[in-house]
């Protein structure tokens, strides 16, 4: 079976934890898009691991992980991540493979990324990891792929500084590089997880352009970046937080009001640890935006949702979610493509009673308080998509499975 996991908001939904949890039953975990702009946090026995490039399945000793064709890979970031894992006792030799079609991030791309964004009138607020520049080199057909490392004529076109940068990594990169299309085809019956990065609303095509990342963070990207056709993908899971966050600039209609909701924002940021894993930046926080979530469900054919961070709401007596936008004098229920429209959109909020008790030790959905069930089931109806997994804490055990995606 092939299962895709994407973020259904603006990234940071807790995909890392969910991939780690579901990887238990997988044999191969493929990261299909993005680069070291991602930050996936996984907590095992109070030990925290922050992964940027390597799929979360690496934390199990027997899984194979693949950095897919849709990725952009900074070798320095990759080897520093591998060394961090090795130092913490995780064996990576012979388990980490890189698609020959993945592109390489060069230091000069990182410099251009930072300069370009700083020079914009309204910066996107990129992570400064060279992501957009590497993807634009790819589109211009000027990029360097892993496959090119052994193509002398192509390598001769690189600058001296590029060679100096790549030299210490070349041999190891070459041993990890695979023909990913045949690797996956030869293992077509393996239980495979396709791990997305960023989120549906940061997708270059479907997201809030130009305030997006440059990779394919929607479900369709799993096919391209995973070297399979769309029909090979059996299930698509969308991970979302019980509220919404966003890092960097760009429209965010349900964002907490800086003056009137500052206290709530501070509470969510502190309780939900809403600081970027890659940049340390405080995340912008807001109400759960159901208009945006429903759009993500439809445009990604999400079969089931995974809700995370529900426990952050444990102590609140009232919870609100955005169910429509007011734009000018119109009520809008569909997610607009226009940044201008989104920037002027005011959230129409619906209120839900809080449950005012800890969800931490619940083992099944049936043990949830009625109020938490009401919130969950409203979201299911609104998005016309079931919520099959609910996460109520960072640890693997704080995961309530209503239906496992590995079962039919």
For the annotated catalytic residues, the residue numbers are 12, 40
Q: Which of 129, 241, 284, 294 binds ligand IMP (CB under 6 A)?
A: 129
Total interface residues for ligand IMP by CB under 6 A: 20
CB of 294 to ligand IMP, least distance (A): 20
Q: Which of 3, 11, 85, 285 binds ligand IMP (CB under 6 A)?
A: 11
- Kindly state whether residue 6 participates in binding ligand IMP, applying the rule CB under 6 A: no
How many residues would you count in the chain?
A: 408
Distance (Å, whole) CA 134 – CA 140 = 10
- Kindly state whether residue 55 participates in binding ligand IMP, applying the rule CB under 6 A: no
Stretch that binds ligand IMP, among 6-14, 183-191, 235-243, 313-321 (CB under 6 A): 6-14
Q: Which of 68, 132, 238, 336 binds ligand IMP (CB under 6 A)?
A: 132
- Kindly state whether residue 213 participates in binding ligand IMP, applying the rule CB under 6 A: yes
CA nearest neighbour of 257 among 315, 173, 322: 322
Distance (Å, whole) CA 44 – CA 251 = 35
DSSP β-ladder status, 284-286 and 330-332? unpaired
* Joined tokens for residue 262: 């500052």
CB of 221 to ligand IMP, least distance (A): 14
- Of 113 and 303, which has the nearer Cβ to ligand IMP? 113
CB of 257 to ligand IMP, least distance (A): 21
Q: Which of 248, 251, 336, 405 binds ligand IMP (CB under 6 A)?
A: 248
Distance (Å, whole) CA 83 – CA 53 = 13
Q: Per-residue contact track with ligand IMP, 256 to 295, x per CB under 6 A?
A: ----------------------------------------
Distance (Å, whole) CA 243 – CA 240 = 8
Q: Per-residue contact track with ligand IMP, 163 to 202, x per CB under 6 A?
A: ----------------------------------xx---x
Q: Which of 3, 5, 6, 12 binds ligand IMP (CB under 6 A)?
A: 12
CB of 117 to ligand IMP, least distance (A): 8
- Kindly state whether residue 37 participates in binding ligand IMP, applying the rule CB under 6 A: yes
Q: Which of 67, 82, 131, 268 binds ligand IMP (CB under 6 A)?
A: 131
- Of 286 and 323, which has the nearer Cβ to ligand IMP? 286
Q: Which of 9, 33, 127, 299 binds ligand IMP (CB under 6 A)?
A: 127
Per-residue H/E/C for the chain: CEEEEEECCCCCCCHHHHHHHHHCCCCEEEECCECCCCCEEEEECCEEEEECCCCHHHHCCCCEEEECCCEEECHHHHHHHHHHHHHCCCCCCCCEEEECCCEECCHHHHHHHHHHHHHCCCCCCCCCCCHHHHHHHHHCCCCCEHHHHHCHHHHHCCCHHHHHHHHHHHHHHHHHEECHHHHHHHCCCCCEEEECCCCHHHCCCCCCCCCCCCCCCCCHHHHHHCCCCHHHCCEEEEEEECCEEECCCCCCCCECCCCCCHHHHHHHHHHCCCECCCCCCECEEECEEHHHHHHHHHHCCCCEEEEECHHHHCCCCEEEEEEEEEECCEEECCCCCCHHHHHHCEEEEEEEECCCCCCCCCCCHHHCCHHHHHHHHHHHHHHCCCEEEEECCCECCCEEECCCCCCC
CB of 96 to ligand IMP, least distance (A): 20
- Kindly state whether residue 9 participates in binding ligand IMP, applying the rule CB under 6 A: no
- Of 55 and 355, which has the nearer Cβ to ligand IMP? 55
- Of 375 and 394, which has the nearer Cβ to ligand IMP? 394
Stretch that binds ligand IMP, among 118-126, 226-234, 326-334, 376-384 (CB under 6 A): 118-126
- Of 69 and 372, which has the nearer Cβ to ligand IMP? 69
Chain residues binding ligand IMP by CB under 6 A are 10-12, 37-39, 124-127, 129, 131-132, 197-198, 202, 213-214, 247-248
């Amino acid at each position: 079976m092939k299962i895709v996991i994407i973020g259904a908001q603006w990234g940071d939904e807790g995909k890392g934890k969910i991939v780690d949890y579901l990887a238990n039953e997988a044999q191969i975990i493929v990261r299909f898009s993005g680069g070291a702009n991602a930050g996936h946090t996984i907590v095992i026995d109070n030990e925290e691991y922050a992964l940027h490039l390597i799929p979360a399945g690496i934390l199990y000793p027997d899984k194979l992980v693949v950095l897919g064709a849709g990725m952009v890979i900074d070798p320095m970031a990759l080897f520093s991540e591998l060394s961090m894992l090795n130092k913490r006792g995780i064996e990576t030799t012979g388990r980490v493979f890189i698609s020959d079609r993945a592109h390489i991030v060069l230091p000069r791309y990182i410099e251009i990324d930072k300069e370009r964004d700083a020079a914009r009138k309204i910066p996107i607020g990129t992570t400064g990891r060279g992501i957009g520049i590497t993807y634009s080199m790819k589109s211009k057909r000027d990029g360097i792929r892993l496959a090119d490392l052994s193509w002398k004529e192509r390598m001769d076109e690189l600058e001296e500084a590029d060679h100096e940068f790549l030299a210490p990594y070349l041999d190891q990169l070459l041993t990890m590089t695979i023909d990913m299309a045949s690797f996956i085809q030869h293992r077509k019956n393996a239980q495979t997880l396709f791990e997305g990065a960023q989120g549906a609303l940061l997708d270059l095509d479907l997201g809030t352009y130009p305030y997006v990342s440059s990779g394919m963070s929607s479900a369709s990207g799993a096919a391209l970046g995973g070297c399979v056709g769309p029909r090979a993908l059996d299930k698509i899971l969308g991970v979302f937080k019980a509220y919404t966050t966003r890092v960097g600039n760009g429209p965010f209609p349900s964002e907490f009001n800086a003056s009137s909701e500052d206290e709530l924002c501070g509470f969510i940021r502190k309780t939900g640890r809403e600081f970027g894993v890659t940049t340390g930046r405080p995340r912008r926080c807001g109400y759960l935006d159901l208009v945006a979530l429903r759009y993500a469900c439809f445009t990604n054919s999400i079969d089931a949702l995974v809700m995370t961070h529900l426990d952050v709401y444990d102590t609140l007596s009232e919870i609100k979610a955005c169910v429509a936008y007011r734009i000018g004098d119109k009520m809008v229920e569909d997610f607009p493509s226009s940044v201008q429209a989104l920037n002027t959109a005011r959230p129409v909020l619906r209120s839900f009673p809080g449950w005012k008790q800890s969800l931490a030790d619940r083992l099944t959905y049936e043990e949830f308080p009625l109020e938490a069930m009401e919130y969950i089931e409203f979201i299911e109806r609104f998005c016309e998509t079931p919520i099959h997994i609910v996460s109520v804490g960072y640890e693997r055990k704080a995961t309530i499975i209503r239906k496992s995606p590995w079962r039919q």
